[in-house]
Structure 1
Amino acid sequence: MATRKTFTRITDASDDTLGGRLSMARDSIGLSLADAANRVGVKRDTLLAWESDRSEPRPSKLVSLAGILGVSPMWLMTGLGSGPLQESSDVPIEGLRMQLQRLTDAHLECGRLIGEISSQIDRYEERQRAEAVGDGDFDFGEHRIAVPGNA
């Protein structure tokens, strides 16, 4: 009677592909898809296609990604070699720094938008005052003087 040996696979199937390893490494440092794509110089959809195994990066982009993600190119390609650090104290701080930068950028953008809207309101009010003055009355700040014969 032949005995059958059963081998249980311990690895996660999603990490068995280049795309799975890309996604795992990116997630391990808290880098968003858009931020990672921006850093490597490709569109978000391109990086998404790589992570979904619908296409593969060129070697130069693969090396660039490895540097950005803190893993070896060999690990990205094969799963062997230096992969992401799971318990490193540097991983959370990098994610926090990135979140802080995104919040700072959003804060600056809000300030810019507030200034832009405030300027638009000022221009609108100035235009309204100019139109009111254009009806024949004279506007001296808070005091308007009506010219006889103008309604």
Structure 2
Amino acid sequence: MATPTTHDTGTAPAPAESGAPGAVHRVRIPLRISDFVGSHVNNVRFQEFSQDARMMFFREKFDVAGSRVPVALARWMEIDFRRTIAMGVPEVWVDVQTLRVGRTSYTMRTSIGSESTGPEPCAVVDTVMVVTAADETTTLEINPEERAALLGHREEAG
């Protein structure tokens, strides 16, 4: 089971309304033999690590009484593969950060690496998410509480 941990960026987060990126949230995801192809992690798995880490982030940020977990659909995704993660690595770390929150969408970045590959990511995934109603066709505006949670400033939401 993946274990979420918070990663301190060393700086205090900026206020939610400034448009500055949110705090970095680190999770760890154990690797399975099926994650590998040949002697390295399959490239397709990087997208799945990104999605799994975003889901853990959402559970932590929105799983509180009275909170509405926004339905969000991936609109656009780009993966920058920088180097491989070799066979035998027990887990990957995934840093999740909200880069920008707009009116109906937000951009998240997940940086993926492992202890054995060092502090620099092996892949960086940028994803634009669009918030929708339950019908998944009607876009919704992101409210101030959701904006604060996405940027890591729940205490400033009201």
Per residue, is there more helix in 1 or in 2? 1
- Does the pair score TM above 0.5? no
Higher relative contact order (CA 8 A, sep 6+): 2
TM-score normalized by structure 1?
0.21
TM-score normalized by structure 2?
0.21
Per residue, is there more strand in 1 or in 2? 2
